[in-house]
Amino acid sequence: MPRRLLPTLLLALPLLLLAATPDETAIRQVLERQQAAWNKGDIKAFMEGYENSPDTTFVGAAGVTRGYQPVLENYLKRYPSRDAMGQLTFSAIEVHTVSPGSAWVLARFHLKRNAAGGGDKSGSYTLVFKKTAAGWKVVLDHTN
């Protein structure tokens, strides 16, 4: 390798190490689609980010909900209107790959809602993702 390339490679190395992997990019895209679906008032499209499985689990203040359909039903019941849903933003997203087929995400959410919708709400969440034939899907959601 020519000596003049070595300084350039040494400067670029930290950027290469920080670059998102294809799996991280795909997981972040799931979160972006979920945020966009929520902000359109489309809970069913939001739920496309979850694996449609009886093993899909949601843990929240009300306890543990198991199964895709019960999780969907809880979202529909807890957020019956656009006012209740508000505008969702995700922040401080960290994606951690565990293996080629699994990862976890630590992040924050913020719902901006008017008083009729219950007011603003913020918190943290942890998601466990599994790579499926349909792409990366949430299999465990722990939101507080």
Distances (CA, A) of 90 to 6, 18, 121, 128, 134: 39, 20, 12, 16, 23
- d(CA 72, CA 46) in angstroms, rounded, equals 9
pLDDT bin (cut points 50, 70, 90) of residue 94 is: very high
What are the pLDDT digits (tens) for 16-35? Answer: 445 789 999 999 999 999 99
pTM of the complete model: 0.85
Domains located in the chain, CATH noted: 20-137 (3.10.450.50)
Q: What percent of the chain has pLDDT over 70?
A: 88
Does the pLDDT value for residue 144 go beyond 50? Answer: yes
Report residue 142 CA to chain centroid gap.
11
